[in-house]
Amino acid sequence: MTDVVRPAPGLRAYVDGATAVLAEAGVASPRHDALALAAYALGLPRVELVLPPPLPDGFAAELAGLVERRRAREPLQHILGSTVFRYVTLRVEPGVFVPRPETETVAQLAIDEAAALAARGARPLVVDLCTGTGAIAVAVDTEVPASRVVAVDLSDAAVGLARANAGAVGTADLRVEQGDVRDPALLAELDGTVDVLVSNPPYIPPDAVPLDPEVRDHDPDLALYGGGADGLDVPRAVIVAAARLLTDGGLLVMEHAEVQGEAARAAAAATGAFTDVRTLPDLTGRERTLVARRVARPPVGDSPA
């Protein structure tokens, strides 16, 4: 009796197996992640199961190790070392907040405003506070080439990574600075000259610990928790900074939690510096973006009414 030689599993079988493992572990997008990990193990940007590439020696062990890391809920972006945000691929590293797809709508609002100004012949000045990886700043910089972009973060790791991303895919006009949004002298040289101030600041209240292990166990606390009982200490500082930095008619765009819309609008109104204060939805339809327009300052020498 001769032994039956079974063919080695194909790529589809490996992806199916990885999908099952990740689904059982509670990963939100098991098929997507299994395909991404398979492509990474093969050194390819993506894989097509209809016409699968040949599998090199050691592929099974390589994929198994990657799947195990993801099964333990290590963020996919950390495993791959990168993520796509709008039209650019950004480096991602542990210790720096991973940009989320929902924030792309925040970037879109800033891009639309900058593009409208550029269409009128201006060179809009855009400031991105709490920049993290530099995702929003790089998006504005690359999609509105006429813009001048300044990105700021408090974290050493974030500043280093944002500078690396700016150097890799940004333009020479993109500047990354280290600073604290709560510092009243932050970017003081730009007071009253900024056309768009955009921010995805930390805003989670201290008692609202994220449920997803990828966020809770891997994103830095500095980028998650906004301070104060309601998590809005840092967002309020962003609003105050915007009131100082924005030019007359300049636009503030800031992400916040779904339950913080009313408080964020109240914080903007309390400054007396904004009009047309609104809350807009993100990609999922949740109201998570504060938008406000800087009112005109009184002429020098005049007293406010």
CA dihedral for 189, 116, 297, 252, sign (positive or negative)? negative
Choice among 30, 59, 85, 200 that is catalytic: 200
Q: Are 41 and 62 in contact (CB under 8 A)?
A: yes
Please tell me whether residue 91 adopts helix, strand or coil conformation.
Answer: strand
List, in order, residues 6 or more apart from 103 with CB less than 8 Å away: 85, 135, 136, 200, 255, 282
Q: Tell me whether residue 200 is one of the annotated catalytic residues.
A: yes
pTM for this one? 0.91
Mean pLDDT of each 10-residue bin along the chain, 305 residues long? 55 95 95 96 90 90 96 96 95 95 95 98 98 97 97 97 94 92 97 98 91 87 91 97 98 96 97 97 91 89 54
The active-site residue out of 30, 124, 201, 202 is 201
165 catalytic residue (yes or no): no
Instruction: Check if 97 is active-site.
Output: yes
Query: Can you give the pLDDT at residue 170?
Result: 80
Kind of pairing between the strands at 148-153 and 125-129: parallel
Q: What is the pLDDT of residue 251?
A: 98
Q: If you write DSSP's letter for every residue of 266-296 in order, what string do you get?
A: HHHHHTT-EEEEEEEE-TTS-EEEEEEEEPP
Selecting among 59, 85, 97, 274, the annotated active-site residue is 97
Burial class (CB in 10 A: 0-12, 13-18, 19+), 1: exposed
pLDDT for position 29: 94
Looking at residue 301, its pLDDT comes to 63
Whether residue 176 contacts residue 166, with contact meaning beta carbons closer than 8 Å, is answered with yes
| 3-class DSSP assignment, residue 5 | coil
